[in-house]
Amino acid sequence: MLSRSAQGLYWMGRYLERAEHLCRMLRLQTEALVDRPVREIYLGWSRIYGAMNRQPPMGSIELDGDEYTLADSYTLADDLTFERSHPNSVWSCFALGRENARQMRHCISAGMWTRLNLAYLRIQKLEIQDIWRTSPESFYAETSVEIDTFAGVAESTMYRDEGWSFMQIGRLIERAQLSISLLLAQTSTEENTDSDWISLLRIRHALEAYNRRYSVEVKPSQVLNLLVTDPLLPGSLCRSFDVAAAELASIAPGPDSRSSGAAHRLAGRLCALVHYEWPDRQDREDLLWQMSRHCRDLHDLLTAAYFDYPIEDSPVL
């Protein structure tokens, strides 16, 4: 596969995964504006910005009464959803994902392009006031469904060549990095309540799985164990790393063989950290930071091995 095609599919997967993750967080956050305590609304915005490693437009988020929180939520939602100049807003992620898909139309199915293009056309000209006056949570829910539908169409129609593997690896690395950032933002807050941990489970589509495995009683250690080590949970770190390593193993070595081999070894190391290090480690926050660094390193190695490798000079005859 051409490196340009592989890179386009990889980034398409990353951008759409990022947009869907942000939509899930914003849906829960806008739902909380209706009847939740001010403290919970404040911590929700802080967690979102912490998880996205992003600075709010006003510089910081301060807890200072009902009027400030409700008025400021409009500005924060606009920044995270429709800010065209920032690559991590929902609109920008969707636009960048769609642009990569447009350039790689020869590598994806017609159904994938149709679903993604229709979703993009729906949100292309929207602004925050268009969704805020009615039901902003409905906009985020609908956008999440459209991305999930695109993923379902890809699952059923896309040819299982290396392009599929690169798209999956992009999605899974992005999912793992976002999950780690969310867990770190959650554990860094000292005043987490049961509702905060329940909202974390809802963001990762894991509340029902937690109730079946443990019970309705919420314990932070059990929440972390589920989201990190459960091999059957689609959004767990364990499953993300395992499937990403399997997809990477199915791809032929890249032109830069050294980076390619290092990427395979690092993918295996990430799996080992979840399977073997996590159960015995006490400093789990430090381990999450280590996983986060490894994810960034894996991205750099993939880029060096398959997308941005040096071209050797031809010998002079």
- Per-residue pLDDT band for 154 (boundaries 50, 70, 90) equals very high
Share of the chain above pLDDT 90, in %: 74
- Mean pLDDT, rounded, of the chain: 91
Residue 223 lies in a domain: yes
Residue 315 lies in a domain: no
The domain tally of the chain equals 1
Residue type for 261, please?
G
State the pLDDT at residue 53.
Answer: 86
Q: Supply angle C-alpha 38, 200, 248, rounded to 5.
A: 145
- Per-residue pLDDT band for 293 (boundaries 50, 70, 90) equals very high
Residue 314 lies in a domain: no
Q: What does the pLDDT look like over 15-36, one tens digit per residue?
A: 999 999 999 999 999 998 888 8
Identify the residue with better confidence: 108 or 66.
108
- Per-residue pLDDT band for 315 (boundaries 50, 70, 90) equals very low
Residue 66 lies in a domain: yes
Residue 313 lies in a domain: no
- Per-residue pLDDT band for 60 (boundaries 50, 70, 90) equals low
Distance (Å, whole) CA 250 – CA 22: 30
Residue 120 lies in a domain: yes
Question: Stretch 223-246: mean pLDDT, rounded?
Answer: 96
Long-range interactions of 225-231: CB distance < 8 A, separation 24+? 225/278, 226/201, 227/179, 227/183, 227/200, 227/201, 228/183, 228/274, 228/278, 229/274, 229/275, 229/278, 229/279
Residue 168 has pLDDT above 80, yes or no: yes
pTM, 2 dp: 0.92
State the pLDDT at residue 146.
Answer: 96
Residue 57 has pLDDT above 70, yes or no: yes
Range of the domain at 178: 3-307
